[in-house]
Structure 1
Amino acid sequence: MRSQANCPFCSIDAASIVFADEFIFAFWDGYPVSAGHLLIVPRRHVADWGDLEEQERAAVTSAIGRAMGLIRSRHGADGFNVGFNHGAAGGQTVFHFHLHVIPRRTGDVADPRGGVRHVIPTKANYLAEREPSSSSASSTTPPTESASATTDQPRLVTGGDDPLLPHLIAHMDRADRCEIAVAFLLDSGARLILNHLEDLLARGGAARVLVGDYLDVTDPVALRRLADLEGNLSLRVYQSGDERGFHLKSYTFLSGTEGVSFVGSSNISEPALTTSIEWNYKVISSHDVGGFSQIRRAFDNLFDAPAAAAVTQAWIDAYEIRRIIDPYRGPDGTGADVEYETPQPKPQPHTIQQRALIALEQTREDGFSAGLVVLATGLGKTWLAAFDSDRIEFQRILFVAHREEILSQAIETFRNVRPTARIGRLAGDIRETDGDLVFASVQTLGRIAHLSRFAPDEFDYIVIDEFHHAAASTYRRVV
């Protein structure tokens, strides 16, 4: 990678990169136009599109679809603006080529027509110039109707063209507390909100989540995914049994003394949050104090009910064993209007990772029990470790890193490769040492009191992240 001093893209922190290949990398824009604004940047420092080589152009173009998919899964999007600024006259301020992928949502501006044409505002929406002026239109509209349209914001989110997900994300991203109660938690939906919930917890927020086990629809993989999160998260399951249904769906977000709730029909699944026709009514605390308070009291009553059990690794293990997946089984045995999801296909290593996996296997065949992996930033060393350790003979795995945010990222990666694994964390005040996969900070693990808990052969596979730190005394005690 040819870099240049003082270029913000050449010196970007590796932890900021969300995906990459040998020619490009992508990361979230530091000054996003909208939530999920992503930049695609060539590894080689070149000023503009004309300086890119053919392979680099192909890599940039190919990455657009991947970027859109990632944005949709993490942030939701109804449309996109995609493009780049070329030269100072074209608005370019960082002269290392970069392509913007900007997600758009229905209603984010009053009239989005014209899209990228808005770079010159007077030439943006030529369609509007052909339509009747607002003054002539108002002459045919009753004054009371016009006033109502401008003063009353719609409270009903109807799904379809107005999906619930962007509404949830917008409020979750600025909330300091959230309370969610749904009948069904599916993995496709958990993936959509996971990063936003993680961000809320990382900034010191608190979350209470209540899901149901009614008809065994809730996915244990989704439960494990949420249970992996670090922070002030209380996750419970309402154990309804077959005798009593559990069908509520409510999402409440609080910021200071203000709050908003969505109550309606959407469970946490990708269809329910993005494409299905689902009705969810928005209740704003400042507009309906009584209604908002009633929702919160009802949530408290359910969350603290005897039937609401804490979701632990042991509870999920037992649920997996007794779970019966039968889309035709209802409480009376005659049928149920629920949808079960097939498991997500496992991610697959890309070409460079495949070559590295072959080399690691050859290292083992040659009789070595340790190996050193060196890959360029963004090529997926953590993913490589997850792929390489996903073997029947590696039952217990230890992942060691020097920063807790690296541990959180690694947990998410390994969870995608091993969706049913029991995961433990040994960092800060957390002492979870009995998982199939244990993710430990070197500072915590390196203490004699913690290190002595483990036998020398406790783990079948050990990953030491950022091994160039291994000369430090804390690392030496571990390795």
Structure 2
Amino acid sequence: MAQSNLKEEIRDFTNVLTGGQTKSKQLYFQLKNSIDKAKRIDIIVSFLMESGVRLLLKDLKQAVAKNIPIRILTGNYLNITQPSALYLIKQELNNQVDLRFYDDNTHSFHPKAYFFHYDDYSEIYIGSSNISRSALTTGIEWNYRFNDLLDKDSFQQFFMTFEDLFYNHAIVITDEELYRYAKYWRKPAIIKDLEQYKTENKNITPLIQPRGVQIEALYALNNSRNEGATKALIHAATGIGKTYLSAFDSANYKRILFVAHREEILYQAVEAFRNVRKSEDYGLFYGGQKDKDKSMIFASVMTLAKDEYLNEAYFPEDYFEYIIIDEFHHAVTA
């Protein structure tokens, strides 16, 4: 394509982005188009939040599927970057993103820029938007887009600074580094302020999907499976959603057994698995009800442990593909 024609085509796109309710002024919809066309992608933001990563995830997955190199540099100052956002990137993008923490405590770190490299030119979006849902959509954020054909010197100054920071002032976010960060991470007060500006329509039922530490746990479980493990113990505080976690983790298995010591837990588990799997193919195994021809069986430990049921004739050894024992410390009394 001739340089003059290319410049004219570039001018047709929106360059000034101010957020708000008008989609053409929201950064996300411009980034989506650029991600789709890019041959290389570089991102530098002071923090990453799970809400923003989820918004970009489908587009980034498509880029990864096309073997588009992606580099992301972010900060870990004040714990604003959420571990779940980092785990989501590593899990969903198959560790194919070069993900790094800025690691120089002698300078503050507040850049927000998105570089896209094409066959004939490169461009940058630079302004105020970190990776959060609000910042990429309806938040009042000011960003400006330009390219190296129209302003080569400015583009090169930004890009060469990114290169220096990425290779000389950053550390790779390995599994070990991310584990250390997540272990000591505590939700800062500022995140509560950021989360109040959510853009979801309150009349729409939210998607049932892993959130927060559930994402971290799923990443660890998947790594354990890849290393050959067939058993795992989840020890976590009340309220993180361990039942939902088991439903998410078992989603790719057909025949599921969920064992608990109280009937009310069985009914709660049924609801969680129905919500995640969108299936009515479940049965209960306790008291006078002994379903066994369903993909998901929710069983009382006291009933299932009886000799008349816990045997090869009733349930062959390979009958279930995935077994969850709720509150495993009760198993010793069964």
Please give the TM-score of this superposition, normalised by the length of structure 1: 0.42
State yes or no: 1:304 paired with 2:167.
yes
Q: Which amino acid aligns with 2:53?
A: A
Deviation per residue, 1:121-149 (Å, 9 max, x gap): xxxxxxxxxxxxxxxxxxxxxxxxxxxxx
Would the alpha carbon gap of residues 283 and 338 (structure 1) be closer, same or farther in structure 2, given more than 3 Å must change? farther
Q: Secondary structure at the match of 2:134?
A: helix
Would the alpha carbon gap of residues 174 and 316 (structure 1) be closer, same or farther in structure 2, given more than 3 Å must change? same
Conserved 8 A contact 1:177-1:205: yes
* 1:459 alignment counterpart: none
Would the alpha carbon gap of residues 215 and 340 (structure 1) be closer, same or farther in structure 2, given more than 3 Å must change? farther
* 2:282 alignment counterpart: 356
1:235 paired residue among 99, 109, 130:
99
1:256 paired residue among 119, 129, 142:
119
Offset, 1:198: 1.3
Q: Secondary structure at the match of 1:361?
A: strand
Conserved 8 A contact 2:75-2:102: yes
Measure, in 2, the Cα distance between the counterparts of 1:371 and 1:267.
48
Measure, in 1, the Cα distance between the counterparts of 2:297 and 2:69.
42
State yes or no: 1:167 paired with 2:30.
yes
Measure, in 2, the Cα distance between the counterparts of 1:296 and 1:185.
20
Conserved 8 A contact 2:89-2:95: no
* 1:199 alignment counterpart: 62
Would the alpha carbon gap of residues 389 and 206 (structure 1) be closer, same or farther in structure 2, given more than 3 Å must change? farther
State yes or no: 1:157 paired with 2:17.
yes
Would the alpha carbon gap of residues 354 and 309 (structure 1) be closer, same or farther in structure 2, given more than 3 Å must change? farther
Would the alpha carbon gap of residues 255 and 357 (structure 1) be closer, same or farther in structure 2, given more than 3 Å must change? farther
Percent identity, please. 29
Would the alpha carbon gap of residues 225 and 292 (structure 1) be closer, same or farther in structure 2, given more than 3 Å must change? same
* 2:158 alignment counterpart: 295
* 1:106 alignment counterpart: none
Measure, in 1, the Cα distance between the counterparts of 2:79 and 2:280.
37
Conserved 8 A contact 1:214-1:240: no
Aligned residue pairs total: 222
Measure, in 1, the Cα distance between the counterparts of 2:69 and 2:18.
28
Offset, 1:251: 0.5
- Give unpaired runs (5+ residues) of structure 1: 1-150, 329-335, 374-384, 394-479
State yes or no: 1:181 paired with 2:68.
no
2:136 paired residue among 241, 259, 273:
273
Q: Secondary structure at the match of 1:281?
A: strand
State yes or no: 1:327 paired with 2:189.
yes
Q: Secondary structure at the match of 2:164?
A: helix
- Give unpaired runs (5+ residues) of structure 2: 1-10, 199-210, 213-239, 245-271, 285-295, 329-334
Offset, 1:218: 0.3
Deviation per residue, 1:158-208 (Å, 9 max, x gap): 111211100011100111210001011000001011121111111121000
Q: Secondary structure at the match of 1:349?
A: helix
* 1:212 alignment counterpart: 75
Offset, 1:240: 4.8
1:371 paired residue among 294, 300, 319:
319
* 1:339 alignment counterpart: 194
Q: Which amino acid aligns with 1:353?
A: S
Measure, in 2, the Cα distance between the counterparts of 1:390 and 1:207.
40
Please give the TM-score of this superposition, normalised by the length of structure 2: 0.58
Would the alpha carbon gap of residues 260 and 371 (structure 1) be closer, same or farther in structure 2, given more than 3 Å must change? farther
Q: Secondary structure at the match of 2:48?
A: coil
* 1:77 alignment counterpart: none
Measure, in 2, the Cα distance between the counterparts of 1:390 and 1:214.
39
What is the 5 A alignment of 1:23-62? none
Q: Which amino acid aligns with 2:279?
A: Q
Measure, in 2, the Cα distance between the counterparts of 1:239 and 1:389.
41
Q: Which amino acid aligns with 1:167?
A: Q
Offset, 1:340: 6.2
Conserved 8 A contact 1:182-1:248: yes
Would the alpha carbon gap of residues 337 and 278 (structure 1) be closer, same or farther in structure 2, given more than 3 Å must change? farther
Measure, in 1, the Cα distance between the counterparts of 2:177 and 2:187.
18
What is the 5 A alignment of 1:14-163? 154-160=14-20, 161=22, 162-163=25-26
Measure, in 2, the Cα distance between the counterparts of 1:254 and 1:208.
12
Offset, 1:265: 0.5
* 1:314 alignment counterpart: 176
Q: Which has the larger radius of gyration?
A: 1
Conserved 8 A contact 1:216-1:324: yes
Offset, 1:257: 3.1
Conserved 8 A contact 1:178-1:253: yes
Would the alpha carbon gap of residues 354 and 313 (structure 1) be closer, same or farther in structure 2, given more than 3 Å must change? farther
Conserved 8 A contact 1:254-1:260: yes
Measure, in 1, the Cα distance between the counterparts of 2:185 and 2:70.
26
Deviation per residue, 1:353-403 (Å, 9 max, x gap): 365374433498343453368xxxxxxxxxxx7xx759565xxxxxxxxxx
Offset, 1:294: 1.7
Offset, 1:298: 1.1
* 1:51 alignment counterpart: none
Measure, in 1, the Cα distance between the counterparts of 2:297 and 2:145.
54
Deviation per residue, 1:91-140 (Å, 9 max, x gap): xxxxxxxxxxxxxxxxxxxxxxxxxxxxxxxxxxxxxxxxxxxxxxxxxx
